């Protein structure tokens, strides 16, 4: 578990849908079937909370934000942010996404070969989320912020032996000095953005404005500056990290499958004719979307999440006691032999209109139920724009002999980065 929590998944999790074992006086249920996941994430979602370990890992940085809050606090924050992620608003951001994609494409073209694509993809994704959050940031240095996010989650994401103890979520989990310094960098920069907006009195159509305008329908009270700051940190971290990782895995899979890469590039050439991605062209990049969907089936950015039962309940007609833990294994579900033919193969045509799964619960790259990822549409649109731009300009090939090892910290990334050979197409 310290090395890579995904290695906890036994082979049976890819053949059966639930495995229950006793652990420190309670039962841990590893679930990898659609019926079981629906039971936990949707049917009786109020009976389950995020595991105490996850809360203890995230709360020192994210406070009581949308990713860590429960009950009324979570509902209030979700309602405040939801208008920022409607489809029309996302499509309005496509020009900014295309500009960020062009910048990262130029940067990639200047890199020595082979090049690790991970930093450039992080930079592009962070540029996009910056625009969505602030419109015009005044003190947001992307390089510094990206490094701070990496340092924070590197320090928090590794499992410790003490994490195996059944501790309450309020039990402090100490941060290392490096992570503490990084947290301070994030807080200072985002507090500066909040103060500058309040001082100027300017209004912008961005997520910061949504948080500043949000009001509790019962009390009329708004978010404190700390609440706004912690939600901004959550959106910065989750909003760029997961997208960048999905793009990294997509480039890897296309690099080792040149025929699929050629097919995706041909569609891009036909739709874009060498120009930028526009909001009108997003819907026409059908096969490219399938590539990304298949990528996230094989390498879901969050391969496994934990939930704790706060009262007696059921998982697919099986009794579960208060205090039990559910390990919701999306990675096993999406490579499950019962639901997928040749489950470990890369086959984007699984998501063609003719073959797309009819049961929505066999494919959950963004989670499910009321706490499903609020930014799923944003992330998919952003990923299409950036991947289309890179495949418009370059071909990608693997570095033979380089071992690619997927490791879960908080997200699911290739250990040590991902070097690829990159050559211009034109």
Whole-number pLDDT of residue 72: 87
Read off the pLDDT band of 157 (50, 70, 90).
low
Counting every residue written for the chain, the total comes to 426
Q: Where are the domains of the chain?
A: 5-424
Read off the pLDDT band of 416 (50, 70, 90).
confident
Per-residue pLDDT of 267-281, as tens digits, reads 999 999 999 999 999
Q: Check pLDDT > 90 for residue 221.
A: no
CATH level 3 topology of 5-424? Cytochrome p450 (1.10.630)
3-state secondary structure the chain: CCCCHHHHCCHHHHCCCEEEEEECCEEEEEECCHHHHHHHHHHCHHHEEECHHHHHHHHHHHCCCCCCCCHHHHHHHHHHHHHHHCHHHHHHCHHHHHHHHHHHHHHHHHCCCCEECHHHHHHHHHHHHHHHHHCCCCCCCHHHHHHHHHHHHHHHHCCCHHHHCCCCCCCCCCCCHHHHHHHHHHHHHHHHHHHHHHHHCCCCCCHHHHHHHCCCCCCCCCCCHHHHHHHHHHHHHHHHHHHHHHHHHHHHHHHCCHHHHHHHHHHHHHHHCCCCCCCCCHHHCHHHHHHHHHHHHHCCCCCCEEEEECCCEEECCEEECCCCEEEECHHHHCCCCCCCCCCCCCCHHHHCCCCCCCCHHHCCCCCCHHHCCCCHHHHHHHHHHHHHHHHHHEEEEECCCCCCCEEECCCEEECCCCEEEEEECC
Whole-number pLDDT of residue 337: 94
Least confident segment among 12-16, 105-109, 304-308 = 105-109
Read off the pLDDT band of 371 (50, 70, 90).
very high
Q: Across the chain, what does the average pLDDT equal?
A: 90
Q: Which of 124, 351, 368 is nearest to 246 (CA)?
A: 124
Q: Check pLDDT > 70 for residue 148.
A: yes
Average pLDDT over residues 380-389: 96
Whole-number pLDDT of residue 54: 81
Query: Does residue 359 contact residue 60 with C-beta atoms inside 8 Å?
Result: no
Average pLDDT over residues 103-115: 88
Report pTM.
0.92
Whole-number pLDDT of residue 179: 85
Average pLDDT over residues 296-310: 94
Query: Strands 305-309 and 318-320, how do they pair?
Result: unpaired
d(CA 116, CA 123): 13
Question: 86: Cβ–Cβ under 8 A, 6 or more apart, which residues?
Answer: none
d(CA 305, CA 295): 19
């Amino acid at each position: 578990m310290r090395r890579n929590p995904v290695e906890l998944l036994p082979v049976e999790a890819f053949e059966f849908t639930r495995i229950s074992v006793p652990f420190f006086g309670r039962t841990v249920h590893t679930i990898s079937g659609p019926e079981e996941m629906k039971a936990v994430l949707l049917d009786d979602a109020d009976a389950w909370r995020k595991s105490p370990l996850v809360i203890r890992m995230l709360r020192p940085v994210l406070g009581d934000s949308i990713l860590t809050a429960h009950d009324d606090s979570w509902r209030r924050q979700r309602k405040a942010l939801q208008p920022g992620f409607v489809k029309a608003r996302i499509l309005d951001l496509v020009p900014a996404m295309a500009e960020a994609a062009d910048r990262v494409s130029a940067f990639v073209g200047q890199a020595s070969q082979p090049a690790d694509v991970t930093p450039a993809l992080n930079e592009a994704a962070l540029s996009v989320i910056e625009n969505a959050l602030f419109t015009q940031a005044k003190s947001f240095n992307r390089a510094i912020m990206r490094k701070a996010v990496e340092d924070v989650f590197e320090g928090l994401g590794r499992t410790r032996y003490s994490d195996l103890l059944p501790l309450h979520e309020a039990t402090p989990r100490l941060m290392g000095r490096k992570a503490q310094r990084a947290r301070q960098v994030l807080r200072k920069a985002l507090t500066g953005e909040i103060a500058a907006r309040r001082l100027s009195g300017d209004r912008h159509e961005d997520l910061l404005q949504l948080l500043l305008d949000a009001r509790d329908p019962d009390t009329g009270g708004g978010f404190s500056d700390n609440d706004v700051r912690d939600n901004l940190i959550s959106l910065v971290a989750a909003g760029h990290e997961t997208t960048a990782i999905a793009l990294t895995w997509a480039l890897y899979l296309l690099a080792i499958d040149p025929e699929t890469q050629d097919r995706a590039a041909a569609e891009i050439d036909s739709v874009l004719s060498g120009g930028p991605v526009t909001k009108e062209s997003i819907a026409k990049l059908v096969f490219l979307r399938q590539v990304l969907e298949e990528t996230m089936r094989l390498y879901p950015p969050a391969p496994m999440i934990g939930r704790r039962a706060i009262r007696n309940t059921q998982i697919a007609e099986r009794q579960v006691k208060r205090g039990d833990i559910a390990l919701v294994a999306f990675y096993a579900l999406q490579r499950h032999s019962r639901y997928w033919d040749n489950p470990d193969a890369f086959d984007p045509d699984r998501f063609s209109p003719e073959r797309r799964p009819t049961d929505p619960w066999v494919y959950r790259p963004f989670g499910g139920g009321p706490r499903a990822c609020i930014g799923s549409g944003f992330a998919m649109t952003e990923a299409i724009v950036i991947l289309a731009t890179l495949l418009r300009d370059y071909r990608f090939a693997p570095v033979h002999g380089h071992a690619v090892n997927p490791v879960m910290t908080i997200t699911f990334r290739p250990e040590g980065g991902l070097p690829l050979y990159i050559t211009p197409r034109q």
